[in-house]
Amino acid sequence: MSVPSDIAAARAAILNRMAKAAAEAGRAPQGVTLIAVSKQQPDGRVEAMLATGQRVFGENRVHEAQARWTSRRSDYAHLQLRLIGPLQSNKAADAVALFDVIESLDRPKLAAALADEAQKQGRCPEILIQVNTGEEAQKTGVPPLEADAFIKSARETYGLPLRGLMCIPPVDEEPAMHFALLAKIAARNGLATLSMGMSDDFETAIRFGATHVRIGSALFGTRPGSAQLTE
Ligand SMILES: *Cc1c(COP(=O)(O)O)cnc(C)c1O
């Protein structure tokens, strides 16, 4: 179990590595945002992370995020919550109500549900589309060849505030080609936000243009019980 000083040290070290990777790529360090992935982490570690000043957090499950963040919202004015896991259409209402950014839009039915909820609630999170760059059957995300058309329909048919793209490269492949592909699709569609890079590959992602890196275990320590989970 990490103590608060470990969390602060881990965050400082990651921010350092991010700045170094940005500088090496000729990019400004402020151009890359750290998303602290708090999924499955004990509350004590999350409190310690908040105490460091970290305000941008990623969660992969709507209900877990509600339990953790609904009451904390009012205590932290500049909190930014980002949904980075798959979203079922029947949880669109809860997701629109809680999150500032949804990174996992990947199909028309969900786009319709989000647009509908945004209308009803009078607010809409910023949206990223998840691209399944490795075309893995078990992974969500639009296939790369369908990305341009889906981006167009998210904007024009559903009127969503689309900001960028997200990907999770296959675990057994060199991530660089996946990051390059995501950056290429974003550039040709005029999208500025690139959420890519995790604990093991964020420096590579920054080299390929990541604006947001999603880091869990390297910041908080290993997720308890994570061995049984596939993702
Ligand atoms: C869990 C998760 C992360 C963080 O993974 P680490 O390897 O612990 O940094 C990043 N992105 C997504 C989509 C995740 O589900």
Do 35 and 56 contact (CB within 8 A), yes or no?
Answer: yes
Contacts of range 49-58, beta carbons closer than 8 Å, 24 or more positions apart? 49/7, 49/11, 49/219, 49/220, 50/76, 51/4, 51/7, 51/8, 52/7, 52/8, 52/11, 54/11, 55/79, 55/80, 56/80, 56/82, 57/81, 57/82, 58/82, 58/83, 58/84, 58/103, 58/214, 58/216
Q: Model's pTM, two decimal places?
A: 0.95
Distance 33 CA to ligand 1 centre (A): 15
- pLDDT, residue 226, reads 62
Q: Write down all domains in the chain, each with its CATH number in brackets.
A: 2-220 (3.20.20.10)
Looking at the CA of residue 37, tell me the nearest atom of ligand 1: 4
Residue to mutate, 17, 33, 35, 37, ligand 1, most ligand atoms under 8 Å from C-beta: 37
Phi, psi (rounded to 5 degrees) for 136: -85, 135
Looking at the CA of residue 168, tell me the nearest atom of ligand 1: 13
Dump pLDDT digits (tens) for 29-51. 999 999 999 999 999 999 999 99
Residue to mutate, 104, 168, 196, 198, ligand 1, most ligand atoms under 8 Å from C-beta: 198
Q: Whose CA is nearest to atom 11 of ligand 1?
A: 214
Distance 120 CA to ligand 1 centre (A): 31
Q: Alpha-carbon distance 77 to 109, whole Å?
A: 33
Dump pLDDT digits (tens) for 107-158. 999 999 999 999 999 999 999 999 999 999 999 999 999 999 999 999 999 9
Dump pLDDT digits (tens) for 214-231. 999 999 999 887 654 444
Q: Whose CA is nearest to atom 6 of ligand 1?
A: 216
Q: What percent of the chain has pLDDT over 70?
A: 95
